[in-house]
Amino acid sequence: MNYFDAIILGIVEGLTEFLPVSSTGHLTIVEKILGLKTNDPAVTGFTAVIQMGAIVAVIVYFARDIANIIRTWTLGLVKPEYRGHRDFRMGWYVIVGTIPVGIVGLLLRHVIKDDLRSLWVVAIALLGWSAVMWAAERAARQDRSEKRLNLTDAVVVGIVQCIALVPGVSRSGATISAGLFRGLDRVAATRLSFFLSIPALIAAGAFELKDALGGDVGVGETVVGTVVAFVVAYGTIAWLLRFVAHHPITWFVPYRLALGAALLVVLATGVMSAT
């Protein structure tokens, strides 16, 4: 991997990490186009590490909210008067909602890194989860704001986040859809998706760091890719929050369907190999 590859992959990561189009799926496709081995531990490690750039963008963008959640949750552990506060509850929601993906990701890490790193999987997931996103919008009541979040919401969204370990599903597409099925409005579902992404992707990136730096990917390339991902992701976050306030996530479905169908064609005709 060279610096050009790192910059391109950083841009792709920043653009797609929080849009419901699957960052892992897009990174896998672009890695193939760049001639990289998608099942190389160094490449999969690099992919996980540059996600931390996108996560830092979330932390910076929501710095005040996150600081309030951490402060209130910490105080609530020792002072009962803080336990009824929304930020105290959100702290627990993030912790509880992260547990499922942590367990599944750890237990199935070899399957995720090897068996699922196939463009056939990406294509099928892009097509299949598009139907779920469409159904989520059709079923959405959107009658509950973030103030009415509860523990069940966090558990359900956290469990569904596990499905996003399959490349092509999209973590944001999965979690926002789950929030809509629960009756949350799009902004509340999207913000919960952002908050749940922080511990999950930081853990994934830290776990894969040794592989990213232990193969053909250098420290410089990894740093550049991560910085580019941060810059692009910050702009994407701001845009997405404005977008979902006025538009359904089904706006992304035609793109997902077109990409999935095109991918099936190039795979079936042998233009591109699946791994």
**Per-residue pLDDT tens over the stretch 223-249:** 999 999 999 999 999 999 999 989 999
Which amino acid is present at 118? S
Confidence of residue 193 (pLDDT cuts 50, 70, 90): very high
Cα(166)–Cα(5) distance, integer angstroms: 24
Domain ranges of the chain: 3-268
**Residue 61: which of 249, 245, 236 has the closest Cα?**
236
Token representation of residue 58: 């979330």
**Residue 227: which of 2, 5, 45, 7 has the closest Cα?**
7
Structural contact between residues 118 and 275, judged by C-beta atoms closer than 8 angstroms: yes
Confidence of residue 218 (pLDDT cuts 50, 70, 90): confident
Token representation of residue 192: 């919960």
Token representation of residue 2: 């060279």
Rounded to two decimals, what is the model's pTM? 0.89
**Per-residue pLDDT tens over the stretch 14-56:** 999 899 999 888 998 998 899 888 777 778 778 878 888 998 9
**Per-residue pLDDT tens over the stretch 97-134:** 999 998 998 888 778 777 787 899 999 999 999 999 99
